[in-house]
Amino acid sequence: MKLSDKAKGIVTGLIVLLLITLVLTLAECTVRVRQWLKYGNFNNFNTSYIIDQKTGLRVPVAGQKTRTITINSLGFRGPEIDVPKPTNRLRIAFLGASTTYCAEVSSNSMTWPHLVIEQLRKVYPNVSLDYVNGGVPGYTVQSSLENLRKRVAQLNPDVIVIYHAVNNLSGETRELASQQGIYQKDQKLEETSWLAEHSLLWFLLEKNLRLFEVQRQVTANQGRLQFEPARLGEGFRQDLTELIEETKRTAKVVAIATFSQQIRAEQTPEQQLKAAGSSLYYMPFMTPQGLLAGFTRYNEVIREVSQVTGVILIGGEMDIPGDDEHFNDTVHFKDAGSRLMAKRVSDALLNAAPFKRLVETKAGNQHL
């Protein structure tokens, strides 16, 4: 039977629609497999966290396990934590955000908090050591203060290490950008469409299109934030001081680390723009030079606060090379960067008199 022209058109349309659907399905499967190979799950990270009913905090889902990430029964990334803490155990808690949680590394054993403990165990094989990775993506210093009060302090850490900067810098510069009329305070850069919530392919497409537009605006110098670096960081200073004073009431030894980032002054403009990519996504009104100035200022504040509060300063933020081997994006480490971050932290602790005294006391108690 010969089909009419109208029927032929319908059949052709259906075939084209079927082919498009197959191509899109294949593309969706491809990006989800890539997501699994890189992060150990097939979805974006929104499904990995819940709002804890007891604390009101956004925390990892307790007990979840992917190919690369394991969350213990208390909702912290890492091995199970003995509760109550054994008498002679030396416990280190790490407070921070996504750069402490380390979703980008290949396994739990490659997070820098875990590597710190491994390095300390080599030096003190007779001391019982464990840790709490209190890092949660999206946390600011104030979030970590609440995390300390409601979840971490009850685990009785002996040592607390703090690593913060980028989320507070993002919040402060958004406020300034709002005042200059180049950013709306109620604007949610992370907000995605309904389709992006259900399709990883569409989510990545939306994200890359936003980043492309931001990079175009940076190149054209459109709508860039104007600020004096020396005037940044006062809110960060206050919050950080409050957090440190609280940690000093919780633990015997407290340390704070300066912040490492991929973008560097010695890079070419093209390298800086590439290295700044993920930070520009969340701070689209910034320039690479502005980001550099912001990170530099925040590290100055970290050093000043550590001196005033008398806690251990972990420096050497530039000891981690600013390249694609060590960084996954502007601020998150790959395995190689995580190793060097752990070395920064463990070296500083091992050279600090308060930490040495604490470990020696714990070592002495092992034999009582």
pLDDT in tens, 293-345: 999 999 999 999 999 999 999 999 999 999 999 999 999 999 999 999 999 99
Cβ-contact 67, 34 below 8 angstroms: no
Is residue 228 predicted with pLDDT exceeding 50?
yes
Work out the percent of the chain whose per-residue pLDDT is above 70.
80
Spans of all domains in the chain: 77-366
Q: What is the mean pLDDT of residues 220-230?
A: 82
Contacts from 211-217 at CB under 8 Å and sequence distance 24+? 211/277, 211/280, 211/281, 214/280, 214/281, 214/284, 215/273, 215/277, 215/280, 217/284
- Give φ, ψ of 233 to 5 degrees: 90, 5
Spatial distance between the Cα atoms of 221 and 147, rounded to a whole number of angstroms: 39
**Number of C-beta neighbours around residue 277 at 10 A:** 17
| Architecture of the domain spanning 77-366 | 3-Layer(aba) Sandwich (3.40)
Reported confidence tier of residue 173, pLDDT bands at 50, 70, 90: very high
Q: Cα–Cα distance between 76 and 168 in angstroms, integer? A: 22
Which of these ranges, 35-49, 117-131, 134-148, has the smallest mean pLDDT? 35-49
- Our CA angle for 185, 258, 109, nearest 5°, is 100
Pairwise pLDDT comparison (16 vs 187), residue with the higher score: 16
